[in-house]
Structure 1
């Protein structure tokens, strides 16, 4: 599994969006987490996301990831439509998935309003596709970063990836020498997957926000930088990584900044707002770190991210994908 290039997305996706509509405020675009549609009562944020790899907690992650995309645009996730595709008619698997969907949606205050469930020949594991909707008073795009803005990362790299490794690959981790207590704490990172609390703090001042998912924090930074037409130089040591994440990533041979990154929120804020934003996040008990400053590229080819001497201008492959092969 790998991400399509920005050029392929432009050619095959973003240029083929059906009839024009004056109510579409923000539509499909590289790096954008969600669309924004004008309604009589304000702006509605709409997003959709599939999930198939995290077998143990697929329902929990599905709700969190879909709602994160709405929150990362400044919206309040309210409604969810759930499509569940199963490789075979297994009611025990369906029971697990729908119980997880119900519990996480209830925890986050989201109503599941409908969906579709069926079995599909050829699937090797369950597949979810979730659509989330919610209103916003101020839509925050991925593409709004400006030179001079501070780049803030909440929590740390690989939050989602850490939790998935600790559950789907627990036996491998213990065989590699990771102690049981560390694996247990890592599995507890599922409780940190939602970014609704930090989005509520940041949405009123952020120039751009983005929820890093596949490809981790590194790919999230690339998408934000390319969507905004800017350059971001980031030192690896500037990106916070929790000890549990380091332990499970080292055992599995993956890079913490290139694994499933939901649970962190990337935001750019004006330099003169940085201290007050960090204080507000700390007051809510949310870890946050300034990892870089947005820079102006000298030409179009310089948009993207520079890290460890390498220049990234397109999708970054997630290190975890190969673990399921």
Structure 2
């Protein structure tokens, strides 16, 4: 099955951490997308994040850069360096040139240097695969696990930004057949220009206790991962989640939940209530829209099998969506579309 590993299989992978090193402040953990490494300077922490990308055929190079850099930015750092491992299904020079030009132009626009990597042809692949490692430095690492009870949950731009662009490009014909207008699809395809959360994170990071970058599985997965990493309960109202008209049109046409599909372009931030105005003002100054979608609550351990009152009590690591409990990340709803293609 395509997609992220389940919790048990992932736990086996995360347990394999090699040699212990006291410089590693934050290492592999469910819900944490980046590592924090103490460089021996009180004002400098190295942030490292890695991500592969292969399924977004029309813009794989561009998205691969953004997805890796977003994880570094969502940890409070400015992305500065990338390594790029590129696997190609053939030695077609046009395909190779397209991917590398996308990578080069996107990294250049972000001010990020590509400092190494690896390239080879792997005929068993059906499409190019870009695997990026992004690095940056910060004086304040912001983890997914920093959310605290009472924090407000802010979401920038909207749910399903990345998925909207993919639907409007890779699945354009299907969207047209389902009744989505060409004008809507043209606007939706342009969402590809908004998948970076580097400006969002730079604006909100000083006020945030936690930040997380929704990717595969969308906002719902990001909420589950943040709740698990912080040992809290995240309570969200669906009607408060910003969903753009183009996203709603494309997702409705193909039966995709915009909260459960690729979400790069949005930043989830847990912000103390007294600093929400500061965060929203900073985002507005950066030209970034934001919605207040819910709150962080303390979890209540359930030892007797009684779940308590619906919508009010839940185990740590749980998401409440309109009061309904979610404790496992959903499979991204674009995967069935690719599997049927």
Structure 2 distance, partners of 1:186, 1:96, is: 22
Cα distance in 2 between the residues matched to 1:137 and 1:108: 20
2:284 to 262, 282, 285: 282
Q: Which residue of 1 aligns with 2:165?
A: 163
- Runs of at least 5 residues in structure 1 that lack an aligned partner in the other structure: none
Q: Is the 8 A contact 1:3 1:316 kept in 2?
A: no
Q: Which residue of 2 aligns with 1:96?
A: 98
User: Does the 8 A contact of 1:4 with 1:315 survive in 2?
Assistant: no
TM-score by length of 2: 0.93
CA offsets per residue over residues 269-300 of structure 1, 9 Å max, x none?
11111122112211221101110010111117
2:331 matched to which residue of 1?
A: 317
Alignment of 1:253-272 (within 5 A): 253-272=255-274
For 1:107 and 1:159, how far apart are their aligned partners in 2? Answer: 20
Counterpart contact for 1:84–1:116, Cα < 8 Å:
yes
Residue pair 2:207, 2:278 contacting (<8 A) in 1 also: no
| 1:173 is aligned to 2:175 | yes
SS of match in other structure, 1:113: strand
Superposition pairs of residues 224-235 of structure 1, within 5 angstroms? 224-235=226-237
Structure 1 distance, partners of 2:318, 2:233, is 5
Aligned-residue Cα RMSD (Å) equals 1.2
- CA shift, 1:82, in A, is 0.4
Find the residue that maps to 2:154 and give its secondary structure.
Answer: strand
Contiguous gaps of at least 5 residues in structure 2: 303-314
Give me the whole-angstrom Cα distance separating, in 2, the residues matched to 1:246 and 1:288: 17
Give how far 1:4 is off: 2.3
SS at match of 1:7: helix
Report the counterpart of residue 311 of structure 2 in structure 1: none
Distance in 2, Cα, partners of 1:14 & 1:258: 24
Q: What do the CA deviations read for 1:202-226 (whole angstroms, capped 9, x no partner)? A: 1112110000000101111111011
Partner residue, 2:89: 87
Partner of 2:294: 292
Match of 2:24 in 1: 24
1:201 to partner: Cα distance:
1.2
Provide the residue aligned with 1:35 in structure 2: 35
Shift of 1:2: 3.0
| Structure 2 equivalent of residue 197 of structure 1 | 199
Q: Match of 1:260, SS? A: coil
Alpha-carbon offset, residue 3 of structure 1: 2.4
* CA drift at 1:302: 4.4
Q: Is contact 2:86-2:119 (8 Å) kept? A: yes
CA drift at 1:9: 2.1
Does structure 2 conserve the Cα–Cα contact (< 8 Å) formed by 1:153 and 1:291?
Answer: yes
